[in-house]
Amino acid sequence: MKATKQSEFTIRVLAIDEHPLFIDGIRARLKEIAPEVQIVAELNEVDTAYQLAASVLPDLILMGISFKTSKSSSIDMAKKIKDDFPNIKILILSGDDSIESIMGALRSGASGYLLKSVSVSDLKDAIFTVMSHGSVLCPAVAHKLLEVLNHPISKLYIPTVRELEILEFMKKGSPIKLIASQMFLSPRTVEVHMSHIYQKLGVSSRTEAVMKAISVGLIPGPKIEQHF
């Protein structure tokens, strides 16, 4: 936050979302109820987020999770920015309430996770909380996170982002060589990760691991297509 001559302050925000109109809406509403919060730069993809963050050095990055046109992962990009610019706060504003996205974002160093259904007033409060070195989760996200962490298995098994990624491949039935290729790992490294997953979940096969991971909410279950 940077002081002004009027002894007020400005929170400089970099907004990243794939929908420009969504950012425009936030900018307009924040201008009405929190003029000290200013979106000074925006992106509709995450591939160049690091370069723009390094150039602008915002106080806070308001970041979405899903970007269909980007090659980079929002979670990986958030971690990269936090590693090199620890003073920049990151607040996730997303329509994705999956536990893997929530856990991944928090592990990346994000200070909060809100769903896009949040009110602008609550968004303003969240921004001020994060800028005061606090953390924030909207009620729906907090409830889902507590459900998972309070599960008997989850109390022992706190997944890493990489383990969640491998579980997703396992759910699809991908062979080890394909997983290794897609994740830029050696097959042996993938086998080690899978061994850790089996041990933590108390299972001995892929099928058991996937079923148990789905049952406790670590990964989403298969989508059921509806025909009308």
Residue 227 forms part of a structural domain: no
Return the beta strands (E) in the chain as ranges. Answer: 2-3, 9-16, 37-43, 60-63, 89-94, 112-115, 136-137
Q: For the segment 71-112, what is each residue's pLDDT rounded down to a tens digit?
A: 888 888 999 999 999 999 999 999 888 877 888 888 888 999
Structural domain ending residue among the three candidates 122, 142, 162: 142
* Gap between the Cα atoms of 17 and 46, Å rounded: 8
Residue 90 forms part of a structural domain: yes
| Count: domains in the chain | 2
Q: What percent of the chain has pLDDT over 70?
A: 88
* Residue range(s) defining the domain that contains residue 204: 152-215
* Gap between the Cα atoms of 130 and 92, Å rounded: 11
Residue 174 forms part of a structural domain: yes
User: Range with the lowest mean pLDDT among 16-25, 117-126, 135-144?
Assistant: 135-144
Q: Is the pLDDT of residue 7 over 60?
A: no
Q: For the segment 163-219, what is each residue's pLDDT rounded down to a tens digit?
A: 888 998 999 899 999 999 998 889 999 999 999 888 888 888 889 888 888 877 777
Structural domain ending residue among the three candidates 142, 165, 180: 142
